[in-house]
Amino acid sequence: MKRWLFASALLSMLQVSSYGAEVEYSGIVEVMPGNVLLSSDLSNLSFTGYTNGKVIDEGLDSDASYMPSVSGGLDATNGVVRFQLLGGLSTMTNSDFSATVLKLEAAAYYMGSYSNKLGIGAHITSLSFLSPSWSGSADASFSDTNGIAPGISVIFGNEWIVKGSVDYVMGTNMDITTKNGTVSNYSSISLDGVMVQLGLMYKF
């Protein structure tokens, strides 16, 4: 279902981007240092027990996970509509919890003001959370999970482009396995929540 939604959005954006005037194609690189995911389950996660000679009583203090990312892809514009398709890599960190994140994003912007430098549009991102791990004393492991994140974004610029977006991550569910005396208050957690992104793109 998630893949079908992403594919449908991608096809719609491709049709929009080709409408009207001649389309100009460029490569694009995106760096998102200001990327935060707010998922309410995380701050409630805790581990207790007695593992490897240690008393375990630990968890996460914050809902906020830091997710800086680097992506690359294709930019296409006809002067009125700008379409972008990006694939990238991110690292999600929140205290003792971390995961590698693969991203695939399709976006379409209406470039209707300020000399075609200001764009407002919608995008959808497919997220794969891979090899999640816990670096604390608890003996815990997590399953991989996937999610999808629709959102709205604003871009400004031509060659160098500033980008900000607000998205909602949904559909994620991560199973938790504990052993050697570690006990978790959850058998699974969701990473669903609001994701805020701020960064810079370079078109070449």
In the predicted structure, residue 77 carries a pLDDT above the cut 50: yes
In the predicted structure, residue 173 carries a pLDDT above the cut 60: yes
| pLDDT band per the 50, 70, 90 thresholds, residue 75 | very high
Total residue length of the chain: 204
- Helix/strand/coil for 117: coil
pLDDT tens figures, 54-63: 899 999 889 9
What mean pLDDT is reported for the chain?
Answer: 90
In the predicted structure, residue 203 carries a pLDDT above the cut 80: yes
What's the pTM value of the predicted model, to 2 decimals?
0.86
| pLDDT band per the 50, 70, 90 thresholds, residue 51 | confident
CA–CA separation, 164 and 74 (whole Å): 18
Domains: count for the chain: 1
Which domain CATH number covers 25?
A: 2.40.160.20
Among the residue ranges 14-18, 150-154, 181-185, the one predicted with the least confidence is 14-18
What confidence score (pLDDT) does residue 17 get?
Answer: 46
pLDDT tens figures, 184-199: 999 999 999 999 999 9
CA–CA separation, 204 and 103 (whole Å): 21
CA dihedral 38, 40, 85, 116 (to 10 degrees): -50
In the predicted structure, residue 20 carries a pLDDT above the cut 60: no
Average pLDDT over residues 65-88: 95
pLDDT tens figures, 80-128: 899 999 999 999 999 999 999 999 999 999 987 666 789 999 999 999 9
Which tokens hold the place of 71? 């992506």
Provide the residue range defining the domain that includes 199.
2-203
Angle at 44 between CA 126 and CA 102, to 5 degrees: 20
Among the residue ranges 4-13, 74-83, 129-138, the one predicted with the least confidence is 4-13
What confidence score (pLDDT) does residue 67 get?
Answer: 97
What confidence score (pLDDT) does residue 113 get?
Answer: 63
